[in-house]
């Protein structure tokens, strides 16, 4: 009899052939040691890997019906991979984590415990991260800015390592937007949340697939999806230009009337026109971004394209208890 599992693990994959078996084994070890009474499923989404990741996922899917392997036709991005995993998840709770082992599987037990206490969203919050100085501080600055300009409170020092309840998943899966920023979308739902702190380790193997360009796109998606602040910047700049122009005109007028000083007005006109030209280009860029996103949304083109799905219709796998401890969390 097919039944929905208690836990669904959604794992995006991009060139992680050296990490997949280790991650799968590590998560299973946590399940068999602390979560014996929970049935589970793994949903791996291959986001256009060009190494041997898909071959390993095929082996995992062939060896166990608990593994669903989804393959994109090309690289559609991390958020698209998470979205595809969410669409296929059937669990009571869905846990997303990266395949590079920087999201430690041992934290899962504490996340499930908070969910069992009643939290619909459980964020894994980083106490420390071994990143470069520039990456660490630009990320910190971005979240400070986003938290201040967004109408939705954005938790800081959290990534996509989280647990969400199925009722949160139902809301997320109903959201049609294409410029997806899932960290913000999860927070936007407003359900009760909790935090589990951890120290983020180094990658187990390989190199990150998150380039600066991808990080900038994700940051920009987050800013424009959850705030109208960029449009307000245009209003601030316009007001500033008008005010400075009015002050300059007033100064020239009074200096001419009171002191008889002559100013060649064409110099000021050229300067003001030049400033306004720059403002117009800036406004056109902002308007173009929003109009482009509206156009992209209206097209309703699929967010991703599936090439192959293994074990798409399968039974969830209950854990066969070998032993129980007092620390086992009851579902």
pTM over 0.75: no
pLDDT value, residue 219 = 64
Find all residues with CB under 8 Å of 182, minimum gap 6, and list them.
79, 82, 83, 160, 172
Buried/exposed code over 292-308 (b: 16+ C-beta within 10 A; e: otherwise): ebeeeeeeeeebbeeee
The CATH H-level superfamily of 7-208+302-310 is Spore Coat Polysaccharide Biosynthesis Protein SpsA; Chain A (3.90.550.10)
pLDDT confidence of residue 320: 45
pLDDT tens digits for 82-108? 999 999 999 999 999 999 989 999 999
Q: What residue spans of the chain are helical by DSSP H?
A: 20-34, 53-63, 78-88, 108-117, 133-149, 166-174, 182-188, 212-225, 229-259, 265-299
Enumerate residue ranges in the chain where pLDDT < 70.
1-3, 129-140, 142-151, 202-232, 235, 267-268, 270, 288, 292, 295-297, 299-302, 313-328, 330-331
Res 104: pLDDT: 94
The pLDDT value recorded for residue 318 is 53
Q: What is the pLDDT of residue 109?
A: 96
Q: Summarize pLDDT for 194-213 with one digit per residue, the tens.
A: 999 999 876 545 565 556 56
Every domain of the chain and the residues it spans: 7-208+302-310, 229-299
Looking at residue 183, what is its pLDDT? 87
Residue 322's pLDDT is what?
Answer: 39
């Amino acid at each position: 009899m097919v039944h929905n599992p208690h836990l669904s693990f959604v794992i995006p994959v991009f060139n992680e052939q050296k990490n997949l078996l280790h991650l799968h084994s590590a998560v299973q070890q946590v399940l068999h040691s602390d979560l014996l009474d929970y049935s589970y499923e793994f949903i791996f989404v291959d986001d256009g890997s060009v190494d041997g990741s898909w071959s390993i996922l095929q082996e995992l899917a062939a060896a166990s019906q608990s593994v669903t392997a989804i393959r994109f036709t090309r690289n559609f991005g991390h958020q698209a991979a998470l979205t595809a995993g969410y669409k296929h998840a059937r669990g009571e709770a869905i846990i997303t984590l990266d395949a590079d082992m920087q999201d430690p599987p041992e934290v899962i037990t504490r996340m499930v415990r908070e969910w069992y206490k009643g939290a619909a969203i459980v964020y894994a919050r980083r106490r420390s991260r071994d990143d470069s100085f520039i990456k660490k501080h630009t990320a910190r600055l971005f979240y400070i800015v986003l938290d201040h300009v967004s109408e939705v409170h954005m938790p800081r020092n959290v990534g996509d390592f989280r647990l969400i309840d199925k009722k949160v998943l139902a809301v997320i899966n109903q959201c049609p937007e294409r410029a997806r920023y899932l960290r913000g979308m999860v927070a936007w739902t407003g359900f009760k949340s909790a935090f589990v702190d951890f120290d983020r380790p180094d990658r187990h193997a390989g190199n990150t697939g998150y380039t600066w360009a991808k990080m900038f796109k994700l940051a920009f998606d987050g800013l424009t999806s959850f705030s109208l602040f960029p449009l307000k910047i245009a209003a601030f700049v316009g007001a500033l230009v008008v005010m400075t122009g009015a002050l300059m005109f007033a100064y020239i007028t009074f200096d001419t009337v009171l002191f008889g000083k002559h100013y060649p007005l064409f110099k000021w006109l050229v300067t003001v026109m030049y400033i306004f030209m720059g403002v117009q280009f800036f406004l056109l860029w902002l308007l173009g971004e929003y109009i482009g996103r509206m156009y992209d949304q209206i097209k309703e083109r699929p967010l991703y394209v599936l090439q192959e799905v293994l074990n798409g219709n399968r039974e969830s796998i209950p854990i066969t208890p070998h032993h129980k401890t007092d620390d086992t969390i009851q579902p």
